[in-house]
Chains A and B, each alone.
Chain A
Amino acid sequence: QQQVKQSPQSLIVQKGGIPIINCAYENTAFDYFPWYQQFPGKGPALLIAIRPDVSEKKEGRFTISFNKSAKQFSLHIMDSQPGDSATYFCAARMNYGGSQGNLIFGKGTKLSVKP
């Protein structure tokens, strides 16, 4: 119940394409859903985040779509660029008990954007 399932494991798109990464969860106690971007040799960095009372959030070329009834959320990258090549992690934040504020991460998606 505390898992966050992420797909696909890897993704290759051409420059300008719109890669979509999907995540699903079971626990309705999650109250915050961030996406992290990680470049090789670096730590994950917060990219964009959404709360479950919002169905969509855009920041620049990055959009999160959130479907509360289906317990699914996804990341879309518009007009993708080679510089977007990285590993992307979705996460969900627990908001109960002593673990308040802890994140459960998906297993990651390695995105490669070809020039």
Chain B
Amino acid sequence: DAGITQSPRYKITETGRQVTLMCHQTWSHSYMFWYRQDLGHGLRLIYYSAAADITDKGEVPDGYVVSRSKTENFPLTLESATRSQTSVYFCASKDVSNQPQHFGDGTRLSIL
């Protein structure tokens, strides 16, 4: 089915480990986004990408790395996970700038 999929849906890891969250969309949308959702903070933008090989920081980029070698994929890497990065992570995509964003179902990440 067309859409946006995130994997894994659940992940538990330890502090200091590297972890990569995957996001794949089948619409060939230009824009892709990573958000984190925490109680009391709503959705906060981590990184976004306007096209393949073009990425930029959002509101809370520290501790995260992204890449976008292909239009359909936008992985998010925590190079050395910390407990404060325990959160639910959402990927989103959209076509051109004035179109709505479509969200995946999220990855729940717990860092022990």
Contacts and interface: CB of A to CB of B under 8 A. Distances in A.
Interface string A92-114: 00000011111101111000000
Interface string B7-43: 0000000000000000000000001010100001111
A107 B39 CA distance: 8
B104 interface: yes
Given A44-B43, A108-B42, A102 B103 contact: no
A105 B43 contact: yes
Range of interface residues on B (Cβ < 8 Å): 20 to 34
Contacts of B35: 105
B100 A41 contact: no
A102 B58 CA distance: 9
Interface residues of A, number: 22
Contacts of A102: 33, 45, 48, 58
Contact of B42 (A42, A99, A105): A105
A92 to B, nearest CB: 12
A101 B58 contact: no
B79 interface: no
Contacts of A99: 56
Contacts of A105: 35, 42-44
A101 B94 contact: yes
A107 B40 CA distance: 6
A115 interface: no
A29 interface: no
B98 A45 contact: no
Interface string A68-100: 000000000000000000000100000000111
Contact of A43 (B41, B48, B100, B103): B103
Contacts of A101: 31, 94, 97-98
A32 interface: yes
